[in-house]
Amino acid sequence: MADSPPYFDLITMGRIGVDLYPLETGVPLERVETFGRFLGGSAANVAVAAARLGRSVAIVTRTGDDPFGRFLHEALEEFGVDDRWVTPVAAYPTPLTFCEIFPPDDFPCTSTAAPRPRTWRSTPTSWTWPPYARPGSSGSPARG
């Protein structure tokens, strides 16, 4: 993004991937015929929400060096999220998540995400960081 601000209101870091949702509801994955492809992952969802509210946002994450990774770059740009710190990694594919839609409240998901090597995980020396961000806090969803 050429006209990025001198600082960001928000910088997210974390998982990003492609969510594949059936275009049919109430159909199990083994019977689904058509899917929609969407930007997914906690860090991406938070970044897009903030960008929609008019905030300057960047994301720090990694994708596979594949067509799905390129799709994620395009989607982030379309949503107004600065993606220059999204790094492709050739050795591992972009994570895909398939979900089923059983309204009103049942949305089971299956992920293709494989374990990532240390180079995929966050270490201070292995990432390029955005230079400016307003002070803030970070967190992670709890699992349990």
How many domains is the chain partitioned into structurally?
1
Cα distances (Å, whole numbers) of residue 78 to 1, 20, 32, 34, 52: 10, 18, 28, 23, 11
73-102: pLDDT as tens digits: 999 999 999 999 899 988 889 999 999 999
Q: Which structural domain range is residue 63 located in?
A: 10-116
Q: Mean per-residue pLDDT for 11-35?
A: 93
Q: Is residue 128 part of a domain?
A: no
Do 142 and 129 form a contact (C-beta atoms < 8 A)? Answer: no
> For residue 20, what pLDDT band results from cuts at 50, 70 and 90?
very high
- Longest CA span, the chain: 49
- Three-state DSSP at 4 gives coil
CATH number of the domain residue 80 falls in: 3.40.1190.30
Q: Mean per-residue pLDDT for 124-135?
A: 58
Q: Is residue 103 part of a domain?
A: yes
Rounded to whole angstroms, how far apart are CA atoms 9 and 49?
A: 12
Q: Is residue 67 part of a domain?
A: yes
User: How far is C-alpha 63 from the chain's CA centre?
Assistant: 9
Q: Is residue 137 part of a domain?
A: no
Confidence at residue 112, expressed as pLDDT on a 0 to 100 scale: 83
Q: Is residue 141 part of a domain?
A: no
By C-alpha distance, which of 140, 133, 122 is closest to 11?
133
Rounded to whole angstroms, how far apart are CA atoms 34 and 98?
A: 12
Q: Is residue 134 part of a domain?
A: no
Residue showing tokens 């050429």: 2
Q: Is residue 19 part of a domain?
A: yes
Query: Assign residue 45 a region: left if phi > 0, alpha if psi is -120 to 50, beta otherwise?
Result: alpha
